[in-house]
């Protein structure tokens, strides 16, 4: 077995790529940190190249590819003649297929290894002409805490309350707001990963690109990873949302301990409430045994606003509120998000989310507008804004 020679420090990998570019005859300019869209600038004659560098364990996915292509089309990138996307781990088959289909004339995709940069996509090659392939390497497993990363756990002791749907669409709302998001699929069923796969015959690219709301911005990405693919030092994303298994012991302990915030979905029906809110307070206690810092938010999901249910909702909500208020006396970091402020309404769009797995269409969220309205989009944007207002997540904006 070959020794693993991958670089685990993104700064070191940037320097390696910079040296490799210098050997190709380019003047290298290392911009100030956190430039939007690129990490290195190359100059040679009239050429000015924006280079984005990724030191990841997993292969680069469709969302990351689309975001870089979108960046190259922005006014802020107009001074660049082309862009290079350089990875340490290579690219998914979907990315390479997209690159061949798009034939972007000002884009190159490359993989950096000890032997230099090998081009996976080069517009100067004829369509179908195969560039040199990189060798497969095993991934190093390291997890070093980056205090800037904000972890959200979507967890409940009871299944069937929409945990995966909430995790995915909260990620979508944060992406609309401009955050690149990592979704960690911790549930053994791996349903979240399936829902984001670009190709159901391949497990290597689970991602989504969310276009920007305003012109002049490059949008954001959602990348779905398994726990063993996640390494904080290798990704620039600062928002991590964990779709947890309802069995606490099935979730990696080191991730449970990292939760800054936890969202606990419940429904306003007798089974969802389960003996006057016992499931919710039990969930609070489970998390608290392993994590004494996390702020926890109970969220009402699949809410029916029909007038005929008004009295029932009021009574069931009181049954939820009572044990939470009692529990808060000893643990003030736990709260119910009152549905007057935020609730996820019952909708056909959410009920049929995932139908793309049946009809073979590309992955998407349940945010499609009907008559210029989208209840799920509105509800999850309100949830994301509520969490922005009640957490320190906005501190990550300066670090993206």
Whether residue 384 contacts residue 170, with contact meaning beta carbons closer than 8 Å, is answered with yes
Q: What is the pLDDT of residues 319-338, one digit of tens each?
A: 889 889 999 999 999 999 99
| Tally of domains in the chain | 2
Cβ contacts of 245 within 8 Å, gap of 6 or more = 186, 187, 188, 251
Same domain as 244, residue 193 = yes
pTM of the predicted structure, to 2 decimals: 0.79
Residues of the chain with pLDDT under 70: 1-6, 33-34, 126-147, 271-277, 395-400
Arithmetic mean of pLDDT over the chain: 86
Q: What is the pLDDT of residues 101-136, one digit of tens each?
A: 888 889 999 999 888 899 999 887 766 565 544 333
Same domain as 291, residue 197 = yes
Name the residue range of residue 311's domain. 150-399
Would residue 250 count as lying in a domain?
Answer: yes
User: What's the CATH code of the domain at 395?
Assistant: 3.40.50.300
What are the structure tokens assigned to 383, written together? 């949830």
Cα 183 to Cα 36, 133, 167, 168, 337, distances in angstroms: 22, 29, 8, 8, 23
Same domain as 240, residue 112 = no
């Amino acid at each position: 077995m070959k020794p693993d020679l991958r670089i685990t420090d993104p700064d070191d990998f940037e320097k390696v790529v910079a040296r490799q570019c210098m050997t190709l005859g380019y003047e290298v300019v290392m911009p100030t940190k956190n430039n939007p869209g690129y990490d290195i600038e190359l100059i040679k004659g009239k050429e000015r190249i924006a280079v984005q560098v990724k030191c990841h364990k997993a292969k680069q996915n469709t969302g990351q590819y689309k975001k870089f292509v979108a960046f190259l089309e922005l006014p802020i990138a107009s001074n660049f003649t082309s862009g290079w996307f350089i990875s340490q781990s290579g690219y998914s088959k979907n990315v390479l297929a997209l690159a061949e289909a798009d034939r972007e004339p000002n884009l190159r995709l490359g993989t950096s290894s000890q032997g230099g940069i090998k081009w996976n996509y080069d517009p100067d090659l004829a369509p179908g002409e195969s560039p040199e392939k990189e060798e497969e390497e095993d991934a190093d497993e390291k997890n070093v805490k980056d205090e800037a990363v904000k972890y959200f756990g979507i967890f409940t002791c009871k299944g069937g309350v929409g945990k995966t749907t909430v995790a995915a669409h909260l990620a979508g709302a944060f992406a609309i707001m401009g955050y690149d998001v990592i979704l960690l699929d911790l549930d053994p069923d791996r349903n979240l990963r399936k829902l984001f796969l670009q190709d159901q015959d391949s497990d290597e690219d689970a991602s989504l690109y969310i276009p920007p709301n305003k012109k002049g911005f490059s949008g954001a990405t959602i990348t779905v990873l398994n726990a063993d693919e996640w390494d904080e030092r290798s990704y620039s994303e600062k928002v991590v949302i964990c779709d947890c298994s309802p069995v606490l012991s099935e979730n990696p302990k080191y991730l449970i301990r990292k939760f800054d915030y936890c969202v606990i979905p419940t429904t306003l029906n007798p089974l969802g409430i389960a003996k006057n809110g016992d499931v919710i307070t039990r969930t609070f206690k489970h998390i608290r045994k392993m994590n004494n810092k996390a702020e926890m938010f109970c969220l009402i999901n699949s809410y029916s606003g029909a007038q005929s249910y008004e009295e029932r909702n009021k009574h069931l909500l009181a049954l939820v509120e009572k044990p939470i208020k009692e529990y808060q006396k000893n643990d003030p970091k736990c709260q119910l998000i009152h549905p007057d402020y935020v609730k996820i309404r019952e909708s056909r769009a959410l009920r049929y989310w995932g139908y793309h797995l049946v009809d073979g269409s590309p992955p998407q969220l349940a945010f499609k507008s009907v008559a210029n309205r989208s209840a799920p989009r509105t509800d999850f944007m309100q949830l994301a804004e509520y969490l922005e207002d009640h957490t320190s997540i906005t501190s990550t904006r300066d670090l993206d």
